[in-house]
């Protein structure tokens, strides 16, 4: 693992003190990290595709997990003390310990892609819900099928984990939107759950947002927030920025909490009983297949339409396309390596 990590560091982060020609290579290395962040963000924004899988494919998964788990309140406090001249050396050491440069550049790429892709997805949900959610259905179904190769149901405990995971996702997929509604506490919870899934290869954070009935709401809010910012730049009102920005901040706060709590809990569960935990996670994906159908139905009702033979055929065709995308990814990248190659 150490040799692989060293190679990843050489490829994805510049050496300290790089100058001259080496500095050019360092700039290129950071650009590569940013582009990998773009790929992760694009995957995270689409239900059924995992940003963690992209991190694994591009060779930065171990470095990402190491950087995240290195972040602690004590180190963040040390970094904050860097405002005092006599503590800047300690702050610099803390920043290096958490691989801050790598995280900042990677996250910048992730957010750039999320802002772009979610905007396109939101338009698709509003204007072509059958095609959009059909495509998502195919992504999810194929992901579940591929990941089944990682699951062994040879003990009662694992079978029970599958039954519980599938049942939980299936029930929540149909009832969450009405039961949870949209509120800041729910948004914080959604952020915590989604981000913890995003760093696990094979598990889609956006899929869990669909299961929770929050995906359409949050993508629409994010698009409105960006529109509001652009409007302010040209002299528009700040109200849309404040209203939608509150929701965005709540989601980011939840994501921050989830990254350093829920994500750690999931990782500990994998270390304690990997097979059972993986069985539960894959069952969640399979049970979540109800979500795209339920969300399509909700959207059709909103616009005064219903399921017709044409709509069913369109949904199925889009699902086939989504499934083919995942199967191609699996064929050439090894999508099913859900546990990070361990």
Measure the CA–CA gap between 198 and 149, rounded to whole angstroms: 20
pLDDT tens for 275-315 read: 888 788 788 888 888 888 988 998 899 889 999 999 999 99
Is the pLDDT confidence value at 11 over 50? no
Cβ-proximal residues to 293 (8 Å cutoff; 6+ apart), any chain: 133, 137
- Cα–Cα nearest to 193, from 261, 246, 282, 245: 261
- The whole-number average pLDDT for the span 45-69 is 79
Is the pLDDT confidence value at 338 over 80? no
Task: With beta carbons less than 8 A apart as the criterion, state whether 292 and 136 touch.
Answer: yes
- The whole-number average pLDDT for the span 135-152 is 83
Nearest 5°: the CA angle 121, 64, 152 is 80
DSSP string, 112-151: HHHHHHHHHHHHHHHH-HHHHHHHHHHHHHHHHHHHGGG-
Taking every pair of Cα atoms in the chain, the longest distance, rounded to a whole number of angstroms, is 72
For residue 131, is it within any domain? yes
Which DSSP letter does residue 312 get? H
The pLDDT of residue 122 is: 84
pLDDT tens for 214-249 read: 888 898 899 899 888 888 888 878 888 898 999 999
Measure the CA–CA gap between 126 and 43, rounded to whole angstroms: 20
For residue 338, is it within any domain? no
For residue 98, is it within any domain? yes
For residue 234, is it within any domain? yes
Is the pLDDT confidence value at 26 over 60? no
Candidate ranges 7-21, 26-40, 259-273, 289-303; pick with highest mean pLDDT:
289-303
The pLDDT of residue 129 is: 92
Cβ-proximal residues to 35 (8 Å cutoff; 6+ apart), any chain: 109
The pLDDT of residue 334 is: 56
- C-alpha distances (whole Å) from 335 to each of 57, 87, 167, 341 are 8, 44, 24, 11
For residue 325, is it within any domain? yes
Please state, rounded to an integer, the average pLDDT across all residues of the chain: 81
Phi and psi based region of residue 15 (left: phi greater than 0; alpha: psi -120 to 50; beta: remaining): beta
Measure the CA–CA gap between 223 and 132, rounded to whole angstroms: 17
Calculate Rg over the CA atoms of the chain.
Answer: 21
**What is the number of structural domains in the chain?**
1
- C-alpha distances (whole Å) from 287 to each of 111, 180, 317 are 28, 19, 21
| Helix (DSSP H) and strand (DSSP E) numbers for the chain | 17, 0
For residue 198, is it within any domain? yes
The pLDDT of residue 41 is: 87
Structural domain of 246: 2-333
Measure the CA–CA gap between 153 and 310, rounded to whole angstroms: 39
For residue 342, is it within any domain? no
For residue 341, is it within any domain? no
184: which 2 tokens? 């800041």
The pLDDT of residue 262 is: 67
The structure's pTM equals 0.71
- Cα–Cα nearest to 40, from 28, 53, 30: 53
- The whole-number average pLDDT for the span 87-111 is 92
- C-alpha distances (whole Å) from 261 to each of 52, 118, 201, 258 are 17, 26, 18, 5
């Amino acid at each position: 693992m150490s040799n692989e990590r060293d190679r990843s560091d050489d490829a994805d982060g510049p050496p300290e003190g790089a100058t001259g020609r080496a500095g050019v290579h360092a700039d290129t290395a950071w650009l590569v990290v940013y582009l990998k962040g773009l790929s992760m963000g694009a995957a995270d924004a689409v239900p059924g595709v995992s940003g963690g899988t992209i991190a694994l494919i591009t060779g930065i998964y171990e470095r990402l997990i190491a950087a995240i788990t290195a972040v602690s309140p004590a180190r963040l406090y040390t970094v904050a003390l860097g405002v005092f001249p006599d503590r800047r050396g300690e702050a610099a050491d803390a920043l290096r310990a958490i691989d801050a440069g790598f995280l900042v550049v990677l996250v910048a790429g992730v957010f750039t892609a999320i802002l772009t892709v979610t905007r396109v997805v939101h338009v698709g949900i509003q204007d072509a819900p059958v095609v959009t959610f059909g495509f998502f259905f195919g992504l999810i179904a194929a992901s579940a099928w591929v990941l089944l190769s990682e699951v062994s149901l040879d003990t009662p405990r694992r079978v029970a984990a599958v039954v519980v995971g599938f049942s939980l996702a299936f029930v929540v997929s149909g009832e969450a939107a009405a039961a949870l509604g949209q509120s800041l506490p729910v948004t914080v919870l959604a952020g915590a759950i989604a981000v913890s899934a995003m760093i696990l290869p094979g598990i889609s954070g956006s899929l869990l947002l669909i299961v929770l009935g929050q995906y359409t709401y949050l993508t629409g809010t994010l698009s409105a927030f960006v529109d509001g910012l652009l409007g302010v730049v040209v002299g528009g009102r700040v109200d849309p920025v404040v209203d939608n920005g509150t929701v965005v901040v709540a989601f980011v706060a939840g994501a921050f909490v989830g990254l350093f709590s829920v994500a750690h809990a999931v990782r500990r569960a994998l270390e304690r009983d990997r097979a059972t935990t993986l069985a539960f996670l894959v069952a969640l994906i399979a049970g979540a297949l109800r979500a795209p159908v339920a969300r399509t139905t909700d959207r059709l009702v909103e616009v005064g339409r219903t399921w017709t033979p044409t709509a069913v055929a369109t949904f199925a065709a889009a699902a086939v396309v989504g499934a083919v995308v995942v199967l191609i990814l699996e064929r050439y990248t090894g999508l099913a390596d859900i546990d990070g190659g361990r």
